[in-house]
Amino acid sequence: MKSFEALDARGKAVLLRVDLNTSLVNGEPQDSPRFTQAGEVIRLLARRGAKVVVIAHQGRPGGDDFSSLEKHAVLLSRHAKKKVKFVPDLFSPTTLEKIRGLGEGKILLLENSRFYSE
């Protein structure tokens, strides 16, 4: 098995599952080391020309911390040092179009995966 460092990602779509679960204060996600770690991996993949599609969750249905990931994209952009574009869905034809049309080194963050039942 190849190591992550040896991965040839140029032009390939990479689905990256990250842990962005964080505390919310007045509905705002709080910065944490999770964003730093995710940002480093995303930046590395983007530099290698990957088309990075990020999937994550925030909270559990019915919980006070259950929210969209739209505001998380701002924090993730800061840590990745690249624009992270938020997509407010997981499974729509529009989402698939955005993934297919993603350029090398570009990054999408999909909506909270826990918004959808298993």
The pLDDT assigned to 118 comes to: 65
pLDDT at residue number 6: 76
pLDDT of residue 3: 67
| DSSP structure string for 61-83 | TTSTT---STTHHHHHHHHHTS-
Q: Whole domain around residue 92: which residue ranges?
A: 4-115
| Total number of domains constituting the chain | 1
Count of positions (residues) in the chain: 118
**What is the CATH number for 47?**
3.40.50.1260
For each successive 10 residues of the chain (118 residues), what is the average pLDDT?
Answer: 74 96 96 97 96 97 95 98 97 96 98 88
Q: What is the pLDDT of residue 2?
A: 59
